């Protein structure tokens, strides 16, 4: 027992001496200060010191030092760089949305900043990360794509004529399409085409617009308009981009949608047949045979007509 007390005392004594080696009493402020972390005499010196801490990989302490510069020298030229590095520290600490907010302050607060392009690129990279990210809350995965959309929209607002603007607009469409909001995705792809007609992303947007329209049509059992719109957009894409790699896929989608149109008309015929409205059913079956003669639904329509005639219902 006595030996344990002695060892504990020695450890405590060493700890106290170690702390006093770094912390000094300041009579003026009446508090202990650590010379190692005292704010430097100039913003330039403070920035240099904070960057040195950052280079050691101690992002938490570096963050403190960059924020110290912002607090003590808010009007200095170095403040803009410090704010940028705050974002970098947060990004390194795996706090992407907080990092975005810090980067955005560089644009919002420091009109003279020289890192506009780099800030936009970093915001864009963060948005890309969040587009596919999920966080666990009570054991459940929650997507973060809505944060990504917020950042993409801010990039467009920050610099509507930059190379990242049309790409960010295109990315919004992709994120919404992936999340299942096909109608919303359509509107965003249309914005790429109308707002940035000379952009390299117009071709891809036209294809994705057709794809989104096709996915919208899946929810419309008897509404042919959505399917027709998707088919028309694919046909327009093939017509205007015959050599594009995506045209092969577009042609396959046209075949699929044509078959879908035939199936829907056949199902309408089935509906009228179940309602015992045989004349109307016959009209739809004949329409399928006429419009889609090579489809499997044409053969089935022919079989139903033959059955109805045999039963004296037509």
Residue identified by tokens 């409205």 is 277
pLDDT digits (tens, 9 = 90+) for 237-271: 888 887 777 788 878 877 887 888 888 888 988 98
- DSSP character at residue 110: -
40, pLDDT greater than 60: yes
CA 213-225-247 angle, 5° bins? 40
Percent of the chain with pLDDT over 90: 49
**N residues, the chain:** 314
Cα separation, 304 vs 296, whole angstroms: 13
Which domain, by its residues, includes 8?
A: 1-36
Q: How far apart (Å, rounded) are the C-alpha atoms in residues 65 and 186?
A: 46
Residue 16 to residues 4, 32, 175, 260, 310, Cα–Cα distance (Å): 18, 13, 55, 79, 104
DSSP of 233-247: HHHHHHHH-TTSTHH
d(C-alpha 16, C-alpha 28), whole Å: 23
Local confidence band at 1 (pLDDT 50, 70, 90 cut-offs)? low
Helix (DSSP H) and strand (DSSP E) numbers for the chain: 14, 4
Q: What is the total count of domains within the chain?
A: 2
> Could you tell me if 250 and 234 are in contact, meaning their C-beta atoms sit under 8 angstroms apart?
yes
Note every long-range contact of 274-283, with CB atoms under 8 Å and residues 24 or more positions apart, other chains counting: 278/308, 278/313, 278/314, 279/314, 281/308, 282/308, 282/314
Report the distance separating Cα 314 and Cα 305, nearest Å: 8
**What pLDDT score was predicted for residue 181?**
93
> Is 28 part of any domain?
yes
Residue 18 lies in a domain: yes
What are 36's two structure tokens?
């190692």
Residue 174: pLDDT band (50, 70, 90) is very high
Average pLDDT, the chain: 84
Q: What is the DSSP letter of 56?
A: T
**59 domain-assigned:** no
Q: Enter the pTM of the model.
A: 0.72
With respect to residue 45, please indicate whether it lies within any of the assigned structural domains: no
Chain segment 128-162, per-residue pLDDT in tens: 999 987 665 666 667 788 999 999 999 999 999 99
Phi (first) and psi of residue 16, to 5 degrees: -65, -45
Q: Is residue 7 part of a domain?
A: yes
Q: In this structure, is the dihedral angle defined by the CA atoms of residues 22, 27, 31 and 35, taken in order, positive or negative?
A: negative
Q: Considering only 23-37, 188-202, 203-217, 274-288, which range has the smallest mean pLDDT?
A: 23-37
Domain presence at residue 74: no
């Amino acid at each position: 027992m006595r030996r344990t007390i002695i060892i504990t005392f020695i450890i405590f004594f060493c700890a106290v001496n170690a702390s006093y080696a770094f912390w000094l009493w300041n009579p003026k402020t009446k508090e202990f200060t650590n010379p190692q972390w005292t704010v430097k005499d100039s913003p330039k010196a403070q920035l240099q010191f904070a960057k040195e801490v950052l280079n050691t990989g101690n992002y938490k302490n570096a963050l403190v030092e960059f924020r110290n510069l912002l607090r003590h020298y808010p009007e200095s030229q170095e403040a803009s760089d410090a704010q940028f590095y705050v974002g970098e520290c947060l990004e390194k600490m795996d706090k992407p949305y907080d990092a975005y907010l810090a980067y955005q302050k560089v644009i919002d607060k420091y009109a003279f900043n020289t890192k506009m392009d780099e800030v936009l690129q970093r915001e864009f990279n963060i948005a890309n990360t969040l587009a596919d990210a999920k966080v666990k809350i009570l054991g459940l995965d929650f997507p973060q794509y809505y944060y990504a959309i917020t950042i993409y929209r801010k990039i467009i607002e920050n610099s509507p004529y930059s190379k990242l603007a049309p790409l960010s607009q295109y990315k919004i469409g992709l994120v919404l399409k992936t999340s299942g909001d096909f109608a919303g995705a359509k509107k965003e792809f249309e914005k790429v085409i109308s707002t940035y007609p000379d952009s390299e992303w117009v071709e891809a947007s036209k294809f994705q617009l057709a794809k989104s329209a096709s996915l919208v049509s899946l929810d419309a059992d008897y509404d042919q308009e959505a399917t027709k719109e998707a088919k028309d957009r694919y046909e327009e894409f093939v017509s205007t981009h015959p050599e594009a790699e995506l045209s092969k896929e577009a042609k396959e989608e046209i075949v699929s949608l044509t078959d879908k149109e035939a199936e829907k008309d056949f199902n309408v015929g089935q509906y009228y047949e179940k309602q015992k409205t045989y004349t109307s059913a016959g009209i739809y079956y004949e329409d399928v045979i006429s419009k889609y003669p090579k489809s499997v639904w044409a053969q089935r329509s022919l079989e139903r007509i033959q059955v109805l005639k045999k039963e004296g219902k037509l």
